Chain A
Amino acid sequence: MSTSQSMTMPKINIPTYKREKSRVVRLIILTLILAATYWSMSGVEFSVPNLIKGLPFMWDFIRRMYPPNWSILGSVFVQTVITIQLALAGTIIAAIISLPISFLAARNICGDGWLVRTMTFLFNADRSIDALILALFFVSAVGLGPFPGVLALAIHSIGMLGKLFAEAIEGVDKGPIEALESVGASKLEIIRWAILPQAIPYFISYTLFRFELNIRVAIVLGVVGAGGIGFLLVQYMRLFQYQSVTIVVGVILVLVMGIDGLSTRLRRAVL
């Protein structure tokens, strides 16, 4: 110990410091991560050789996508409108249903009792069922087409919007509520004049955000038969018309990015 210290420096006694996470713990964590990676990848038959073997086919696929078949652009637009309608209808229906029932899930309106807990549970349960699964359920109920898609989107969105709306209601400034109580206002009047003006910008923002997500979901729902641009994509794939697929994929990209950009701007404007 003393060998490294120079003669001019006074001798100091440096105690050893034990780190909170020892090297052994670090090693165990690292091993666990590696084990989990191996376990999951072997389960899904992940194989690098197969991936390399597949590369020429991928290249072939991409090569056949060129040149794009511009002639189908018109019919793609028609289907794009259907996808937008699908997402819009689902979002609006969900917002209209969520709006009143979200008040039942807000602690500052309905207290901390069984009602709020039940509503929160229902919202969470609803969110955990994917729109795709709901769509399969509704297809068996009302048949193929956009209508079961709208139902699936709407029902699935209620869970998220209801929860977010309730949080917006819980987040309002309490001062105006007290002021309205002092005026002699009823609970409904307090909601109308103290809570809604504060919460509505958030309601709009969350609804726009849900619309963004629903555009993507609507495309996927099209793949399973709800119509729209997603349906067009599967059709061209099945017919091996890859030059048309190029156009569809391009339009999907523009659509998603366009809606995202527009919605972000609108949300910034209302908040």
Chain B
Amino acid sequence: MINIIEATNVTKRFPPKVTALQNVSIKIEPGEFIAIIGLSGAGKSTFLRTINGTLTPTEGKMRVLDKDLKAIPNKERIALRRKIGFIFQQFNLVKQISALDNVLTGRIGYNPHWRTLSGIYSQDDINLATYYLREVGLSDKIEQRVDQLSGGQQQRVAIARAVCQEPEILLADEPMASLDPKLSEIVLQLLQKFNRDRGITVLVNIHVLELARRYSRRIIAFKKGALVFDGPNDKLTNEEIENIYKIEDNDI
């Protein structure tokens, strides 16, 4: 496997009018850390969701982990998702249960139904989940209900859940957008750490350009659904940036 993600002419339309992705082609190698920039509505979130198969491309081909997402049956697509962690802007945790229970849901794909439905996880899974909660710095919050945690702590629980899946790919959709600048750095540092230590391929949507430049070597940019930049950080010129973030009159 040379490319862990390979999109060929991917187009995604939401009828009747919206074209969220337009003829996107890109190759991503295992272990890369990629920042995705662009205005909101440019197609960043849609791109991440076509990678984990929660959205299917209208046209084109999406190969992820050597599987053609369009060609495989639904059951296989669900099985593939355990290899792809997802971190959300709004955390998407189950607030009424504990941090540990939330992280353990990351192990669902590895367990038989009787374990996941009864909530009787193996000791190994419990050890793994608490290990990752400690890794994200929440060793004293393991049994706490998530709605008692702060926003920054909740996002770290969500990161622990995603890495507890032991994924090969980690997708993060604006994971810092609900957090203040300092917490944003912590989130990105954690993603960077898991990228370096475990070799997990990370794709992160960032709307703050400065953070994107600091944390990733490769940057890709979307504009109105099209891929308008793909290259190393230092090749991203001022003109390019201006073009990516330019708001045209008819957009307002």
A186 and B81 form a contact (CB under 8 A) = no
Which residue from chain A places its CB closest to the CB of B48 in the assembled complex? Answer: A182
Are B94 and A198 neighbours in the complex by a CB distance under 8 Å?
Answer: yes
Classify the interface of chain B: helix, strand, loop or mixed: mixed
Q: Closest Cβ of chain A: how far from B74's Cβ, in Å? A: 11
Q: Do the beta carbons of B80 and A184 come within 8 Å of each other?
A: yes
Which residue numbers of B lie inside 8 Å of A, CB to CB? 52, 54, 78-82, 84-86, 88, 90-97, 101, 105-106, 108-109, 113, 116-117, 119, 158, 161, 165
Contact B96 A201 (CB under 8 A): yes
Alpha-carbon separation in the docked complex, A180 to B54 (Å): 11
Shortest Cβ distance from residue B48 to the other chain A in the assembled complex, whole angstroms = 10
Contact partner of A181 (CB less than 8 A), chosen from B54, B106, B116, B161, is B54
Tell me whether B108 and A183 are in contact (CB under 8 A).
Answer: yes
Interface membership of A27, Cβ < 8 A: no
Q: List, in ascending order, chain A residues with CB within 8 A of B80's CB.
A: 184
Q: In the complex, what residue of chain B is closest to A191 when comparing beta carbons? A: B117
- A184 and B105 within 8 A (CB): no
B113 adjacent to A183 (CB under 8 Å):
no
Query: A183 and B94: CB pair below 8 A?
Result: no
Which B residues are in CB contact (< 8 Å) with A173? 95
CB contacts under 8 Å to B, within A190-218, are: 192-194, 197-198, 200-201
Which residues of the other chain, A, contact B105 by a CB distance below 8 angstroms? Answer: 179-180, 183, 185, 189, 193
Is A186 within 8 A of B113, CB to CB?
yes
**Of listed B80, B82, B108, B165, residue having the most chain A CB within 10 A:** B108
- The reply to whether B81 and A197 contact each other, CB–CB distance below 8 Å, is no
**Min CB–CB distance B124 → chain A (angstroms):** 18
| Complex contact B52–A182 (CB within 8 A) | yes
Say whether A175 contacts B92, CB under 8 Å. yes
What is the CB-to-nearest-CB distance from B108 to chain A, in angstroms, rounded to a whole number?
5
* Residue A112 at the chain B interface, CB threshold 8 Å: no
Q: Is the pair A197, B94 in contact by a Cβ cutoff of 8 Å?
A: yes
How far apart sit A107 and B94, CA to CA, in the bound complex (Å)? 20
Q: List 7 A-B contacts (CB under 8 A).
A: A179-B161, A180-B108, A184-B165, A185-B108, A188-B117, A192-B116, A198-B95
With both beta carbons as reference points, the residue of chain A lying nearest to B117 in the complex is identified as A192
Closest Cβ of chain B: how far from A189's Cβ, in Å? 5
Given A179-B86, A182-B52, A182-B81, the answer on whether A193 and B108 have CB atoms closer than 8 Å is yes
B82–A184 CB distance below 8 A: yes
Shortest Cβ gap from A49 to chain B (Å): 62
Whether B108 lies near A189 (C-beta < 8 A) is yes
Residues of A within 8 A of B (CB): 173, 175-176, 178-186, 188-189, 192-194, 197-198, 200-201
Task: Say yes or no: A178 contacts B54, CB within 8 Å.
Answer: yes
**B81 and A184 form a contact (CB under 8 A):** yes
User: With the chains together, A185 CA to B54 CA distance in Å?
Assistant: 12
Q: How far is B81's CA from A189's CA once the two chains are assembled, in angstroms?
A: 14
A200 contacts across to B, CB distance below 8 A: 96
Choice from A182, A185, A189, A201 contacting B86 with Cβ under 8 Å: A182
Residues in B whose Cβ lies below 8 Å from that of A192:
116-117, 119
- What CA separation (Å) do A183 and B106 show in the bound complex? 6
CB-CB under 8 A from B52, the residues of chain A are: 182
What is the CA–CA distance of A38 and B84 in the complex, to the nearest angstrom?
72
Please state if A178 and B92 are interface contacts (CB–CB under 8 Å): yes
Pick from A173, A185, A188, A198 the residue with the most CB of B within 10 Å.
A185
Beyond A175-B92, A197-B96, is A182–B116 a contact (Cβ under 8 Å)? no
**Distance from A197 Cβ to chain B, minimum over Cβ atoms (Å):** 4
**Contacts of A189 on B, CB cut-off 8 Å?**
105, 108, 113, 116-117
Which residue from chain B places its CB closest to the CB of A175 in the assembled complex? B92
Residue of A nearest to B75 (CB): A186
B94 contacts A184, C-beta separation under 8 Å: no
A residues in contact with B95, CB < 8 Å: 173, 197-198
**Which chain A residue shows the least CB distance to B109?**
A184
| Chain B min CB distance to A215 (Å) | 29
Whether the pair B96, A175 counts as a contact (CB closer than 8 A) is no
Cα–Cα, bound, A58→B246 (Å): 85
**Chain B residues closer than 8 Å to A180, beta-carbon distance:** 105, 108
Q: Given A181-B54, A181-B81, A184-B82, is A175 in contact with B91 using a C-beta cutoff of 8 Å?
A: yes
Known pairs A178-B88, A179-B161. 10 more at Cβ < 8 A?
A175-B90, A178-B54, A179-B86, A179-B88, A180-B108, A183-B105, A183-B106, A183-B165, A189-B108, A189-B116
Contact A176–B108 (Cβ < 8 Å): no
Name the A residues within 8 Å of B161 (CB-CB): 179, 183
Query: Once bound together, how far apart are the Cα atoms of A201 and B80, in whole Å?
Result: 33
A201 vs B95: C-alpha distance in the bound complex, in angstroms? 12
User: Which 5 pairs show the lowest CB-CB distances between chains A and B?
Assistant: A175-B92, A184-B81, A184-B109, A182-B86, A179-B92
Distance of A197 Cα from B101 Cα, bound (Å) = 11
